């Protein structure tokens, strides 16, 4: 844009309502583009109406600076000179971008073949005016926006801001701690933190094994790394390790997290399990340290977001750090929005992309990481005040393509229809289920007493989506024995997800369904879906045991076990009791590695303790004989009575209260968890301290009063086991 064009913008014209707003007779905020046109997505038509001066044929030089808000000739010349100075600064920045050195080792995942340079597309959809906004970004210190709009490479690694040698690179992290580093008061300036981090890793052969373990057993959960690109970088690193000054801190952070998560999948098979757990915990904290030392908040790169996506797997499930991970997730979302990841729309032949996203590989990996953050943000909202960061109207990013990752670098490869299975298919449907869950969260926040008609309507939508799943995602028990292992795993997990959505939708009405016929549908749906989930968990132990190593699956199993236990208390059958005992045994097998499993054992064992009271509220030998069937049939407490309902509610209250008592008693009854090799991890992390008495929640307004104490149990446990 030249000075003459700027003269059209800033010259002697009075800014009036734009033509569309003038025609519609609505209020215009007189911006370019204006708010109403932006909301209608009719930005191209947003043309400002001319001021009265031009309409009357007036002369610029004759206009007074006080005449009806027009600018004078002197004012315009002053403004034009400032624009010329800023244009010169932009040219200087562009020259630096074109001549700056490239970073030797790009970060974690998207080394793609060169693509033709695309014309800059503004994040504001006004490409002709982008340089004007770039000036605003420069003046306002919005460095990430400026880099995204003037960079000529998909890897923003060389843009510097500042004068001469004093400028600092805002996207590339030095390998050592500088004098102006925020941690320089605790870490000696000049310390090579990358060298210290790499020194803590196992030998190369072990690292290669753990990287392979990650891609075999963990990557399916998010699909946020491009396997060919990442392995290419790993082989280069293994073959000829460059000096740390040439390494990317983002790649090292991601590499460490891959090894950490790979290690957690093999600890059961290692002779020194305690040491392996300690190393995994240490590597997680090393990755955290590398990230903070690299000043990722200042640099804001896509590769750092890939590292954060891996940290959410560990932080939410394999470490008692859900609150910290939730905060880190919010930070990652803001960085992603700065990078334009919320505007990665569907692929189109005539689409023009900004330089940061000018290859399909990079755009597709961006969509996968972004939707992973969306899924976490929306699915965890209820456990964190029913709030989320990503507003659906501001999420313009298309769902990921149904295509295998080895084809992403081929611009001619076409995505498959959803009826064809790829390794990305399950995640696409998983994202669709979480969109429904977000609607439930919105309804809870906007209605003090949620409409039961809304619950039934959402039930129909979830059932409809589940019924329309492709055939290969139907009943997992129908899959042949020689089916692809990844298909078996994806099918089981997706069906568990669908049934969990039904459980979480109807669970506030479970106990009411035993008393009030209006809620029988919720009771039946909740129990039926729970039984299905437990059957799928049993199937996973035989055909996809890797599933049980994830906190999400264990939490789902707990959410399904509680309704089955309750239904067994009210309507006892051998089949129900056997399914509960079976899932309880599954939890016990994972107590040494999983806090979620330990908490599940704690709750389920105490729910089963009251089973005898439901059979006969009296005590003594006579009642024991009746329970054994020696003196007649077993007498169960009627589920429709107030006595049975109150007994169950008081039991749950007692569980929540006992969870906050001294941990010494709990430690005698449960296997000691080993987290990071610390001698007394429970005292440090508070294994059950996250569970508080029901009256301390303050959530009574969320559902129709009186607040369901059973839902309190779930909501409380979600504070420490966020539901995926």
3-class SS string, 218-282: CHHHCCCCCHHHHHHHHHHHHHCCCCHHHCCHHHHHHHHHHHHHHHHCCHHHCCCHHHHHHHHHH
Count the helix, strand and coil residues of the chain and give each as a percent rounded to the nearest 5: 60, 0, 40
φ/ψ of 160, rounded to 5, equals -120, 145
Residue 657 pLDDT: 62
φ/ψ of 547, rounded to 5, equals -60, -40
127 is written with which tokens? 């490409």
The residue whose two tokens read 């098979």 is 269
pTM comes to 0.70
Residue 81 pLDDT: 77
What does the pLDDT average to over 680-703?
30
The residue whose two tokens read 């990921």 is 400
**Rounded alpha-carbon distances, angstroms, from residue 45 to 17, 34, 49, 183:** 12, 10, 11, 50
Residue 616 pLDDT: 56
Can you tell me the distance from the alpha carbon of 156 to that of 166, in angstroms, rounded to the nearest whole number?
Answer: 20
Residue 413 has pLDDT above 80, yes or no: yes
Q: Which long-range contacts (CB under 8 A, 24 or more apart) does 4-10 make?
A: 6/80, 6/83, 6/132, 7/76, 7/80, 9/132, 10/71, 10/76, 10/79, 10/80, 10/83
Q: Which residues have C-beta within 8 Å of that of residue 391, sequence separation ≥ 6?
A: none
Question: Given pLDDT bands bounded at 50, 70 and 90, which one contains residue 494?
Answer: very high
Burial (CB < 10 A; 0-12, 13-18, 19+), residue 412, is exposed
Q: Which residues have C-beta within 8 Å of that of residue 618, sequence separation ≥ 6?
A: none
Tens digits of per-residue pLDDT, 496-525? 999 999 998 898 888 888 888 899 999 999
How many Å from the N-terminal Cα to the C-terminal Cα in the chain? 48
Residue 587 pLDDT: 87
**Which regions of 143-217 does DSSP assign to beta strands (E)?**
160-161, 168-169
Most confident of 290-304, 306-320, 505-519, 691-705: 290-304
Is-contact 12 6, C-beta < 8 A? Answer: no
Question: Given pLDDT bands bounded at 50, 70 and 90, which one contains residue 48?
Answer: low
Question: Given pLDDT bands bounded at 50, 70 and 90, which one contains residue 136?
Answer: low
Question: Given pLDDT bands bounded at 50, 70 and 90, which one contains residue 650?
Answer: confident
What does the pLDDT average to over 28-52?
74
Tell me the pLDDT of the chain averaged across its residues.
74
What does the pLDDT average to over 693-700?
27
Is-contact 251 105, C-beta < 8 A? Answer: yes
Residue 266 has pLDDT above 90, yes or no: no
- DSSP string across 378-419: HHTSGGGTT--S--GGG--PPPPPSS-GGGTT-TTPPPPPTT
Residue 292 pLDDT: 92
Q: For residue 698, how many C-alpha atoms fall within 13 Å in the half-sphere facing its CB? A: 3
Residue whose C-alpha is closest to residue 110's, from 300, 250, 261, 267: 250
Query: Which position has the higher pLDDT, 3 or 606?
Result: 606
φ/ψ of 152, rounded to 5, equals -110, 15
Q: Which residues have C-beta within 8 Å of that of residue 455, sequence separation ≥ 6?
A: 505, 506, 509, 522
Question: Percentage of residues in the chain with pLDDT exceeding 70?
Answer: 65
What does the pLDDT average to over 665-682?
35
What does the pLDDT average to over 164-189?
66
What does the pLDDT average to over 1-18?
50
Among the listed ranges 19-28, 96-105, 140-149, 468-477, which one has the minimum average pLDDT value? 96-105
Residue 628 has pLDDT above 90, yes or no: no
Residue 669 has pLDDT above 80, yes or no: no
Residue 244 pLDDT: 87
Biggest CA–CA distance in the chain, Å, is 111
Question: Given pLDDT bands bounded at 50, 70 and 90, which one contains residue 589?
Answer: confident
**Rounded alpha-carbon distances, angstroms, from residue 437 to 86, 333, 377, 443, 500:** 48, 19, 11, 10, 11
Question: Given pLDDT bands bounded at 50, 70 and 90, which one contains residue 251?
Answer: very high
Residue 165 pLDDT: 31
Residue 618 has pLDDT above 60, yes or no: no
Residue 399 pLDDT: 95
Residue whose C-alpha is closest to residue 370's, from 333, 322, 424: 333
The residue whose two tokens read 């959505």 is 501
Tens digits of per-residue pLDDT, 178-236? 877 888 888 888 889 999 999 999 899 999 999 999 999 999 999 999 999 999 999 99
Residue 601 pLDDT: 86
Is-contact 425 418, C-beta < 8 A? Answer: yes
Residue 209 pLDDT: 92
Residue 659 pLDDT: 54
CA angle, residues 576, 476, 401, in degrees to nearest 5:
135
Residue 658 pLDDT: 62
The residue whose two tokens read 């040494």 is 592
Among the listed ranges 26-40, 362-376, 534-548, which one has the minimum average pLDDT value? 26-40
DSSP code for 318: I
Query: Which position has the higher pLDDT, 683 or 595?
Result: 595
- DSSP string across 184-196: TTTS-TT-BHHHH
Residue 124 pLDDT: 42
Among the listed ranges 21-30, 65-74, 370-379, which one has the minimum average pLDDT value? 65-74
**Rounded alpha-carbon distances, angstroms, from residue 574 to 166, 578, 603:** 76, 6, 21
Tens digits of per-residue pLDDT, 321-368? 788 899 999 999 999 999 999 999 999 888 888 888 989 999 999 999
Residue 142 pLDDT: 56
Residue 573 pLDDT: 84
573 is written with which tokens? 């059958």
Question: Given pLDDT bands bounded at 50, 70 and 90, which one contains residue 311?
Answer: very high
Number of H helices, E strands in the chain: 30, 2
**Rounded alpha-carbon distances, angstroms, from residue 392 to 332, 435, 530, 631:** 17, 9, 30, 62
φ/ψ of 192, rounded to 5, equals -85, 90
């Amino acid at each position: 844009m030249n000075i003459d064009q700027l003269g059209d913008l800033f010259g002697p014209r009075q800014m009036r309502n734009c033509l569309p707003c003038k025609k519609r007779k609505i209020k215009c905020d007189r911006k370019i583009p204006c708010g109403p046109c932006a909301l209608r997505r009719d930005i191209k038509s947003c043309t400002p109406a001319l001021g009265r001066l031009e309409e009357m044929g007036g002369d610029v030089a004759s206009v007074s600076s006080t005449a009806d808000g027009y600018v004078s000739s002197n004012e315009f010349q002053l403004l034009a000179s400032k624009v010329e100075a800023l244009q010169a600064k932009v040219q200087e920045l562009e020259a630096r971008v074109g001549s700056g050195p490239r970073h030797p080792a790009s970060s974690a995942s998207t080394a793609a073949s060169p693509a033709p340079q695309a014309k800059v597309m503004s994040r504001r959809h006004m490409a002709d005016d982008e340089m004007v906004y770039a000036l605003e970004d420069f003046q306002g210190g919005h460095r990430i926006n400026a880099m995204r709009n003037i960079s000529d490479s998909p890897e923003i690694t060389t843009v510097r801001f500042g004068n001469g040698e004093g400028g600092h690179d805002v996207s590339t992290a030095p390998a050592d701690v500088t004098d102006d580093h925020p941690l320089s008061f605790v870490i000696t300036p000049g310390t090579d933190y990358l060298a210290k981090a790499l020194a803590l890793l196992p030998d190369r052969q072990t690292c290669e094994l753990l990287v392979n373990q990650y891609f075999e057993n963990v990557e399916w959960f998010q699909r946020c790394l491009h396997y060919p690109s990442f392995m290419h970088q790993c082989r280069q690193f293994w073959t000829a390790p460059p000096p740390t000054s040439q390494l990317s801190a983002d790649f090292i952070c991601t590499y460490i997290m891959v090894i950490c998560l790979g290690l957690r999948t093999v600890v059961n098979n290692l002779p020194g399990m305690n040491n392996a757990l300690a190393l995994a915990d240490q590597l997680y904290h090393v990755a955290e340290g590398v990230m903070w030392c690299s000043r990722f908040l200042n640099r804001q790169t896509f590769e750092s977001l890939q590292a954060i996506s891996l940290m959410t797997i560990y932080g939410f499930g394999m470490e008692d750090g859900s609150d910290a991970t939730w905060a880190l997730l919010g930070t990652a979302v803001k960085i992603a929005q700065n990078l334009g990841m919320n505007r990665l729309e569907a692929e189109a032949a005539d689409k023009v992309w900004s330089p940061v996203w000018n290859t399909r590989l990079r755009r597709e990996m961006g969509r996968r990481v972004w939707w992973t953050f969306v899924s976490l943000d929306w699915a965890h909202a209820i456990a964190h005040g029913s709030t989320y960061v990503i507003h659906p109207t501001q999420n313009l990013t298309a769902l990921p393509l149904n295509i295998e990752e080895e084809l992403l670098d081929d611009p001619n490869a076409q995505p498959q229809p959803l009826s064809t299975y790829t390794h990305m298919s399950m995640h696409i449907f998983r994202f669709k289920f979480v969109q429904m869950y977000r609607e439930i969260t919105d309804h809870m926040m906007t209605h003090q007493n949620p409409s039961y008609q809304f619950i039934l309507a959402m039930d129909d939508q979830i059932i409809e989506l589940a019924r329309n799943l492709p055939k290969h995602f139907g009943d997992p028990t129908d899959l042949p024995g020689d089916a692809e292992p990844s298909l078996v795993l994806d099918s089981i997990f997706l069906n568990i997800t669908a049934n969990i959505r039904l459980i979480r939708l109807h669970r506030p009405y479970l106990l009411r369904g035993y008393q009030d016929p209006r809620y029988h549908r919720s009771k039946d749906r909740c129990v039926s879906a729970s039984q299905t989930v437990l059957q799928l968990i049993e199937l996973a132990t035989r055909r996809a045991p890797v599933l049980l190593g994830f906190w999400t699956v264990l939490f789902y199993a707990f959410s399904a076990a509680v309704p089955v236990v309750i239904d067994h208390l009210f309507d006892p059958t051998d089949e129900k009791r056997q399914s509960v005992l079976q899932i309880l045994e599954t939890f016990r097998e994972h107590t040494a590695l999983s806090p979620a499993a330990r908490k599940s054992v704690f709750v389920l064992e105490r729910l089963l303790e009251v089973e005898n009271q439901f059979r006969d509220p009296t005590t003594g030998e006579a009642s024991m004989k009746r329970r054994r069937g020696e003196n007649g049939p077993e007498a169960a407490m009627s589920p429709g009575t107030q006595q049975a309902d109150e007994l169950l509610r008081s039991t749950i209250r007692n569980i929540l209260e006992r969870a906050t008592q001294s941990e010494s008693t709990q430690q005698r009854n449960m296997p000691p968890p080993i987290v990071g090799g610390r001698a007394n991890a429970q005292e440090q992390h508070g294994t059950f301290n996250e569970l508080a008495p029901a009256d301390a929640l303050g959530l009574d307004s969320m559902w129709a009063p009186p607040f369901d104490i059973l839902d309190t149990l779930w909501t409380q446990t979600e504070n420490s086991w966020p539901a995926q």
